[in-house]
A and B are shown apart, each in its own frame.
Chain A
Amino acid sequence: MNPRLQTDTRQPGGPLLQVTDLHTAFRTERGLVRSVDGVSFTLERGRSLGIVGESGSGKTVLSRSIMGLLPRRNTERSGSVRFEGQELVDLSLKERRHIWGREMAMIFQDPMTSLNPVMRVGKQIGEGLRLHLGLTRSAARATALSLLHDVRIPEPEKRLDQYAFELSGGMRQRVMIALAMSCGPTLLLADEPTTALDVTVQAQILELIGVQRRERNMAVILVTHDLGVVAGHTDDIAVMYGGKLVEKAPTRTLFAAMKMPYTAALLQSIPRLEDPSHQRLNVIAGRPPDLVNPPRGCRFAPRCIIAQPRCHEEEPPLVTAEHPDHQYACWFSVGSAVYRERVDELADLTVGSL
């Protein structure tokens, strides 16, 4: 057994996941695309972290980068990812494969395409069990059955022998969750798990993930573009923009006292049920930054309503706010004098709430 994987190098006492200055870039015809440009955070056992951002913010690449599930060619990765104290970044493929499924598991956005279309569901779930835990075929099948019970799929015995296309979207995602849980991982990465599902089903799936988390004391990283998804289901939230982490705080703190104007804009762009109909949606003007040639200074500055000259020149560092676990990267921040002045200006110009 590879000595690097022996668990006595692990430190069960410390944080579960420690990401330090992670950079991931892809070589393309246009140049080097810096999808993740220096991200650091820590995740404790059993906690859930939501990573929020627009498309192109780098959130998906971040989650895959943590797993190590990146393509071999034309990918550059640097920084450190420590899982239970053990460095993951320089592991070989074989070594990573031992971790995947068993200690870290991932579920993906579109369950229709993420499940093997020509393999029966039971077999797919059982595969990890047989591979990592060495179960026999019948034991794997029995375990798969109990997993399907856990994820509350109706008629689990029948499902074992069905194919992916015979299940509805919500059921497929449950299967994915069962698959991910099968070997009892300590960290679950969920990449937009509800985006491809109906709204009614979304809540159920998120609920299910929460239940599993508590029962298994498993840490969860929930990647999504939807603030509403993370609002009720995460302990902490990290906001990403342009490949960088721009704000991180415990969930309540974030919603109560957000600092980054981007976060504020995100929140305000969520349409509200009680808004009058035909109300214009609040969109954040502009487009995400070009990750090959990112702008100097704060990456959000071109689209920020309170952008000052300094914002275009210097990139703001991560500073701590009032709450010790709340960090943000902004020169001026929500609630500052500059912000309030600007908001008043804009209120004079437009009708309706901002």
Chain B
Amino acid sequence: MSNIEIITDEESSFVPVAESKAQGRVKVRRRGRVAMWLAIVWLVFLTISAIGANSLPYVPHECEGSTSKCSTAIYGDINRIERAPVWAWFADPGKDIGTGADHTGLMGTDTNGRDIFARAMLGARSTLVIAGLAITLGLAIGTLLGMVAGYFRGWIDVFIDFLTTVMLSFPALLLAIFLVTFFNDPDSTGGAKTRPIWPIIVALVILSIPPLTRLVRANTIAYAQRDFVVAARSLGARGSRILFREILPNIVPTLLSFALTGMALLIVAEGALAFLGLSVESPTPTWGAMISSGTERLRNGVWWVSLMPALVMFLTVLSVNILGDVLAQRFNTREAIA
């Protein structure tokens, strides 16, 4: 059907289509570009806010002492418990709320009077750091394993494949939960020490390695058979040199797209752990914990405590996914992650 199917054929909604002006040309679709830029804007905004979260009095408030040290994220204002966001004109003000301005803040305040927006931005810190670190480490280890398995084949391939299968045969979330609990409190009496951050990262890294290894292995095998690798080998290049100089540069695009999509998944996973109370302790906020604590209040109609952090998380995950998708389309690779 070669000369019939000249119609532009799009596989993803987010591919930017070339613009055209002459008559008779296919209609332009700029939707994809819009989404991509929105995603970038959101992520930049989030990062900046996260870095400067401590000086975020986006909601006006008074503070004893100097205003610069007063973080609405950590110190709540008793006079402003559970206020709906400024724009929520429909929020019913008659809900256990005291006197004073009924609406406040970009996202309202929570049960302790803390500004939700500031908390969410602060929570972005831990989430982005944890997910970012985890995906990077996972990427490094998984790529190594995958390349070794894919290039050298033989016993090591069988072994690595076996390891991967074993790791994949545990339900992912349960594994993460178990690992975190395992590393977290060795004694049930549980001292009041602040939880270390590394168990979560380790758990997330372990989660992300198997699919990455499989992906890299498949790609390595495909590239290893190509002529330029054979040529390099005939020139006497050693295995490691071939791996890093010839094969790795070719799989980088796939890796990048996986990194983004994987990071989105890890953000979700971290959120899940936080939701169950397993992530970093309060008072440091995390999105999952905020959502979780907010659900109790949901029944009384106080929806913003839970849903505002949920919105922030959704936008973030969506943005990262969009970027990952754009990259995947740009480099024309579509690997199923889950």
Whether A27 pairs with B4 at a CB distance below 8 angstroms is no
Whether B26 pairs with A29 at a CB distance below 8 angstroms is yes
Q: Mark A230-262, 1 if CB is under 8 A from B, else 0.
A: 000000000000000000000000000000000
Whether A27 pairs with B24 at a CB distance below 8 angstroms is yes
Stretch at the interface among A67-75, A148-156, A270-278, A297-305: A67-75
Whether A74 pairs with B4 at a CB distance below 8 angstroms is no
Distance A27 CA – B17 CA, assembled complex (angstroms): 15
Interface centre among B3, B7, B26 (most CB of A within 10 A): B3
Distance A323 CA – B24 CA, assembled complex (angstroms): 41
Distance A60 CA – B3 CA, assembled complex (angstroms): 8
In the complex, chain B residues whose CB is within 8 Å of the CB of A60: 3-4
Q: Is A31 an interface residue (CB 8 A)?
A: yes
Whether B4 pairs with A29 at a CB distance below 8 angstroms is no
Q: Is B235 an interface residue (CB 8 A)?
A: no
Q: Is A120 an interface residue (CB 8 A)?
A: no
Q: Mark A40-71, 1 if CB is under 8 A from B, else 0.
A: 00000000000000011000110010000011
Contact of B6 among A28, A55, A64, A76 (CB under 8 A): A28
Q: Determine how close the nearest CB of chain A comes to the CB of B17; give it in whole angstroms.
A: 8
Whether B7 pairs with A32 at a CB distance below 8 angstroms is no
Q: Is B20 an interface residue (CB 8 A)?
A: yes
Whether A33 pairs with B6 at a CB distance below 8 angstroms is yes
Number of A-B pairs, beta carbon distance below 8 Å: 43
Contact of B7 among A28, A31, A35, A61 (CB under 8 A): A28
Whether B24 pairs with A32 at a CB distance below 8 angstroms is yes
In the complex, chain B residues whose CB is within 8 Å of the CB of A28: 6-8, 25-26
Whether A35 pairs with B26 at a CB distance below 8 angstroms is no
Interface residues of B in 18-69 (CB under 8 A from A): 18, 20, 22-26
Whether A27 pairs with B25 at a CB distance below 8 angstroms is yes
Q: Determine how close the nearest CB of chain A comes to the CB of B5; give it in whole angstroms.
A: 7
Distance A353 CA – B334 CA, assembled complex (angstroms): 54
Interface centre among A26, A32, A60 (most CB of B within 10 A): A26
Whether A71 pairs with B8 at a CB distance below 8 angstroms is no
Whether B24 pairs with A61 at a CB distance below 8 angstroms is no
In the complex, chain B residues whose CB is within 8 Å of the CB of A73: 7
Nearest CB in chain B to that of A75: its residue? B7
In the complex, chain A residues whose CB is within 8 Å of the CB of B17: 29
Distance A76 CA – B26 CA, assembled complex (angstroms): 12
Whether A26 pairs with B22 at a CB distance below 8 angstroms is no
Whether B25 pairs with A29 at a CB distance below 8 angstroms is yes
Q: Known contacts A56-B3, A70-B4, A73-B7; decide if A29 and B23 are in contact (CB<8 Å).
A: no
In the complex, chain B residues whose CB is within 8 Å of the CB of A32: 23-25
In the complex, chain A residues whose CB is within 8 Å of the CB of B25: 27-32
Whether B26 pairs with A74 at a CB distance below 8 angstroms is yes
Interface centre among A28, A33, A55, A73 (most CB of B within 10 A): A28
Q: Is A25 an interface residue (CB 8 A)?
A: yes
In the complex, chain B residues whose CB is within 8 Å of the CB of A55: 3
Q: Determine how close the nearest CB of chain B comes to the CB of A310; give it in whole angstroms.
A: 29
Q: Known contacts A27-B26, A29-B18; decide if A74 and B7 are in contact (CB<8 Å).
A: yes
Whether A61 pairs with B5 at a CB distance below 8 angstroms is no
Q: Known contacts A71-B4, A73-B7, A74-B7; decide if A29 and B20 are in contact (CB<8 Å).
A: yes
Distance A35 CA – B26 CA, assembled complex (angstroms): 16
In the complex, chain B residues whose CB is within 8 Å of the CB of A61: 3-4
Distance A73 CA – B4 CA, assembled complex (angstroms): 11
Distance A72 CA – B262 CA, assembled complex (angstroms): 38
Q: Mark A327-340, 1 if CB is under 8 A from B, else 0.
A: 00000000000000
Whether B24 pairs with A64 at a CB distance below 8 angstroms is no
Nearest CB in chain A to that of B18: its residue? A29
Whether B24 pairs with A35 at a CB distance below 8 angstroms is no
Distance A33 CA – B5 CA, assembled complex (angstroms): 12
In the complex, chain B residues whose CB is within 8 Å of the CB of A26: 6-7
Distance A35 CA – B4 CA, assembled complex (angstroms): 10
Interface residues of A in 48-107 (CB under 8 A from B): 55-56, 60-61, 64, 70-71, 73-74, 76
Distance A64 CA – B23 CA, assembled complex (angstroms): 24
Nearest CB in chain B to that of A57: its residue? B3
Q: Determine how close the nearest CB of chain A comes to the CB of B21; give it in whole angstroms.
A: 10
Contact of A29 among B3, B5, B8 (CB under 8 A): B8
In the complex, chain A residues whose CB is within 8 Å of the CB of B5: 71
In the complex, chain B residues whose CB is within 8 Å of the CB of A76: 24
Interface centre among B18, B20, B24, B26 (most CB of A within 10 A): B24
Whether A31 pairs with B3 at a CB distance below 8 angstroms is no
Distance A60 CA – B25 CA, assembled complex (angstroms): 22
Q: Determine how close the nearest CB of chain B comes to the CB of A58; give it in whole angstroms.
A: 8
In the complex, chain A residues whose CB is within 8 Å of the CB of B22: 31
Q: Please, could you name 16 A-B residue pairs with CB atoms under 8 Å apart, sorted by A?
A: A25-B24, A26-B6, A27-B26, A28-B7, A29-B17, A29-B25, A30-B25, A32-B24, A32-B25, A33-B6, A60-B4, A61-B4, A73-B7, A74-B7, A74-B26, A76-B24
Name 16 extra pairs, CB < 8 A, besides A28-B25, A33-B6. A25-B24, A26-B6, A27-B7, A27-B24, A27-B25, A28-B26, A29-B20, A30-B25, A32-B23, A32-B24, A35-B3, A56-B3, A61-B3, A71-B4, A71-B7, A73-B7
The 9 A-B pairs at the shortest CB distance, nearest first, are namely A32-B24, A74-B7, A28-B6, A26-B6, A27-B24, A27-B26, A29-B18, A29-B20, A29-B26
A residues adjacent to B (C-beta < 8 A): 25-33, 35, 55-56, 60-61, 64, 70-71, 73-74, 76
